[in-house]
Amino acid sequence: MQFNLREYKLSLAPGVKVGLPGIIEKLDAIIETTKEICLIIADTFDEPYFRFQECFFAVAKFQTTYLQSLKSGDGKAEAFKQANQFNLKHLAELSSKLDQSRPSVEASLKLADEISASNQLTDFYTKIDELAIISMPFVHGIETNPYAHFQRHISTPDIEEKKEAEPLMLSVQFSTDNEPWANPQILKPQTQYTINGVIKLNRLPDNYSKLIIRHVSTTSDDFFVLSLPEIQLTNELSYSIMGQVIFKYPQNTFDPPVAIKLMAQLLSPSAEPIYPHLIGYDELITQIIDENTFKYPTGFSKLNKRAWDIGLEIKKDLPHIDNNELDHFIILLSGILNYAGYCALHGIFKKVSNLSEDDFRDRLIAYLSANPMIGGDIIKEGHIAGGRVEIRYQDVIAELKVEKTMSDRAKMVDQYKRQPSVYASAVSADLAILCILDLTDKTLPSASVANNVFTIPAVFHGFATAPTTSKIAVIIIDGNLKNPSAY
């Protein structure tokens, strides 16, 4: 399940921070909403999970009030810190009673520790931003009675009338493959998935005998088949449901998720249908992905998956990335990965200990020029920002380096990671590639090509501690290899 912070969005876009008082106000609202959910689902399987989430947001709130107290100098900071530590311990106790395989449990515990340890505002804002990417339960809203406090003064007939007017709500929870439906859930095309669910009504109207949950979606029915059985109502409020869903076709690589809106209907032989308000899963969000249809293949299955994963990572971390730039980036990345796989398979740089960057560049450009997706669009030695770029494809930069002395990967990357950022910024690009040919002496066997491909955030002047808005893909090609028997 996912807690979509729609009304209470905490994500702090750069330069649009709501400030500590605003965060406290929003956290208070979320805590109150979570308490109301707990009342609705009292004594159910998921009540402890929502109690856990209520405590999680309390940890975030008390750390926020602690920082606000330090900032204002009102002398209450120590009390707020103690309250935060108490709730942090209580959170750990609550988590011990939950299913530890739920991704949100582990993520919430980790983030709660990090928020509590954030004593600098920049670190704290960064951690608060991460609330937007934790999978948690979500609700659109809960109707409440503003006059409930005065209910004890209302006469008996009015109480009965008020009970009849109580909103009808249906709590819906779905899972597949023994995991809560993630929203978005990653599924494969042409595969039938079983959906298990638990539904609960807050009350049962008289003379209603049947409950139907069906989809109402702008997505064409030809794209998917969703089958959920009718439920024959008894005197119980809680029911189990099991259905199936199958998606017929894969989406394009980086298409947005598909959303299937759900609607519930209560049927009676003698009255008009009633449509209860759904809370929990009022829609099923999914991405239909088939790795075999990756449209920019590298020629190597594991490198295909690596390029695919990097593309999805960028879409997740940089949701506003330009689609054309991402396409061009993946095309160039795929071409260089194809070259890296070719070099490893055929030992192109075996026993090569000395090669100039110009020679390395010319070899790679000649290879990429034969790639039909790249061809003549590649530019050699373009001049940008007063420097000479090794490779440019459209607006994507690939910086090439040859390393002969430093074998430590972290130090190697740290030495060269800034130059591609400079060139990318000059052409208003958010993505770049750094390819390093490692010609250092090899005393141990080299890692697989897929393990030598990863991404790093780009760091810019004035934004050293801000959330990243750009990424660099790093590809390291191992050269100067020995005969296998020499290791």
Length of the chain: 487
The last residue of a domain, from among 243, 263, 292: 292
Residue 390 inside a domain? The answer is yes
Q: How many domains does the chain have?
A: 3
Longest dimension (CA), the chain: 94
Q: What pLDDT sits at residue 348? A: 92
Segment 86-111 shows an average pLDDT of 81
Asked whether residue 100 falls in the same domain as residue 66, the answer is yes
Segment 427-439 shows an average pLDDT of 89
- Decide if pLDDT at 212 tops 90: yes
180 forms beta bridges with 175
Q: What pLDDT sits at residue 290? A: 76
- Decide if pLDDT at 195 tops 50: yes
Asked whether residue 114 falls in the same domain as residue 196, the answer is no
> What confidence tier does 231 reach under pLDDT thresholds 50, 70, 90?
very high
In terms of Cβ atoms closer than 10 Å to its own Cβ (0-12, 13-18, 19+), residue 290 is middle
> What confidence tier does 102 reach under pLDDT thresholds 50, 70, 90?
low
Asked whether residue 277 falls in the same domain as residue 325, the answer is no
The last residue of a domain, from among 292, 323, 348: 292
Residue 209 inside a domain? The answer is yes
Residue 95 inside a domain? The answer is yes
Separation between Cα atoms, residue 280 and residue 164, nearest integer Å: 24
Separation between Cα atoms, residue 98 and residue 102, nearest integer Å: 8
Residue 8 inside a domain? The answer is no
Residue 143 inside a domain? The answer is no
In terms of Cβ atoms closer than 10 Å to its own Cβ (0-12, 13-18, 19+), residue 369 is middle
- Decide if pLDDT at 473 tops 90: yes
- Decide if pLDDT at 478 tops 90: yes
Segment 424-449 shows an average pLDDT of 86
Alpha helices (runs of H) in 370-485, residue ranges in sequence order? 409-416, 418-426
Asked whether residue 328 falls in the same domain as residue 469, the answer is yes
- Decide if pLDDT at 459 tops 90: no
Residue 12 inside a domain? The answer is no
Percent of the chain whose predicted confidence (pLDDT) is above 90: 28
114-118, 228-232, 260-264, 310-314, range with greatest mean pLDDT: 228-232
Residue 94 inside a domain? The answer is yes
- Decide if pLDDT at 242 tops 80: yes
Question: Which residues neighbour 199 within 8 Å (Cβ) at sequence distance 6 or greater?
Answer: 170, 171, 172, 173, 211, 213, 231, 238, 239, 240, 241
Question: Which residues neighbour 421 within 8 Å (Cβ) at sequence distance 6 or greater?
Answer: 432, 458, 459, 460, 470, 472
Asked whether residue 368 falls in the same domain as residue 284, the answer is no
Asked whether residue 200 falls in the same domain as residue 347, the answer is no
Q: 227-237 burial, b for 16+ CB within 10 Å, e for fewer? A: ebeebebeeee
Question: Which residues neighbour 159 within 8 Å (Cβ) at sequence distance 6 or greater?
Answer: 151
- CATH code of the domain containing 206: 2.60.40.10
Q: What pLDDT sits at residue 143? A: 44
Residue 385 inside a domain? The answer is yes
Asked whether residue 104 falls in the same domain as residue 126, the answer is yes
Q: What pLDDT sits at residue 140? A: 42
Higher pLDDT, 97 or 3: 97
How far is the CA of 404 from the CAs of 336, 407, 436, 480, in angstroms?
20, 8, 10, 9
Asked whether residue 288 falls in the same domain as residue 306, the answer is no
List, for residues 333-356, the tens digit of each pLDDT value. Answer: 999 999 999 999 999 999 899 999
- Decide if pLDDT at 134 tops 60: no
Q: What pLDDT sits at residue 105? A: 80
With CA atoms as reference, report the closest residue to 175 among 245, 259, 238: 245
- Decide if pLDDT at 220 tops 60: no
Asked whether residue 226 falls in the same domain as residue 304, the answer is no
Separation between Cα atoms, residue 41 and residue 70, nearest integer Å: 38
Asked whether residue 195 falls in the same domain as residue 298, the answer is no
Higher pLDDT, 30 or 437: 437
| Residue 99 structural domain | 19-133
pTM for the predicted model, two decimal places: 0.51
Higher pLDDT, 39 or 16: 39
Neighbours of 381 (CB within 10 A): 12
Asked whether residue 25 falls in the same domain as residue 84, the answer is yes
The last residue of a domain, from among 292, 314, 329: 292
Separation between Cα atoms, residue 129 and residue 224, nearest integer Å: 34
With CA atoms as reference, report the closest residue to 479 among 377, 398, 400: 400
Q: What pLDDT sits at residue 8? A: 36
**Read out DSSP for 17-49?**
--HHHHHHHHHHHHHHHHHHHHHHTTTSTTHHH
Instruction: For residue 215, give the H/E element and its range.
Output: strand 210-215
Asked whether residue 167 falls in the same domain as residue 239, the answer is yes
Q: What pLDDT sits at residue 240? A: 94
Segment 7-25 shows an average pLDDT of 56
